[in-house]
Amino acid sequence: MTHSTPEAGKGPAVTGPAVTGQEATVPVPTAAGGGPVSHAIFRLARLHRMLAGQLLRRIGLHPGQELVMMHLWELGPQRQTDLVRLLDSDAATMTRTVRRLEQAGFVRRSPSPTDKRATIIEPTVASQALRREVERIWSQLEDMSTADLSDAERAAALRTLERLEGNLVQAATDSAGAAETER
């Protein structure tokens, strides 16, 4: 992705390839000029989620549902509250997600045998065919996202994204600590 930041009085920046593969100009608002990386992350995340949604719809899923399934396939049955924590979600969103996955026949809910307040979510046998499709879609999305990057560029991009994520996790932790101190 090419990128240039707007300079005072010189108009919006120009950013790189659109979904069509042709060069496109995306105006960067002057107000976002102080945060070109943040603006690029926003655009990238929005486009990535849109493409993931298009691919997932073909197998009857919405973005985010595949992540719940990935954790269940990997870890086995989980308390719903643990899924909320694992995916950094909220209880209401997870309840809706699990309900939709249950209606589709991909998960089963049952009361916890050790905690009457907890619900256990487990993948169904029917979800195993879905797993192969989700894995295929994630590979396809990875290929779309990293097309024309060398192995070294892919590794560097991953390291950079991990550092950015670490910075934001630290900022969120610091912010939560500051908010707790103010109380």
Q: What is the pLDDT of residues 69-122, one digit of tens each?
A: 999 999 999 999 999 999 999 999 999 999 999 999 999 999 999 988 999 999
Q: What is the pLDDT of residue 140?
A: 97
Reported pTM: 0.76
| 42: nearest Cα among 137, 50, 84 | 50
Q: How far apart are CA 83 and CA 177, in angstroms?
A: 24
| 118: nearest Cα among 98, 146, 134 | 98
Question: Which residue positions in the chain have pLDDT lower than 70?
Answer: 1-25, 183
Q: How far is CA 132 from CA 19, 23, 49, 54, 58, in A?
A: 26, 34, 20, 17, 13
Contact status, residue 66 vs residue 134, Cβ threshold 8 Å: yes
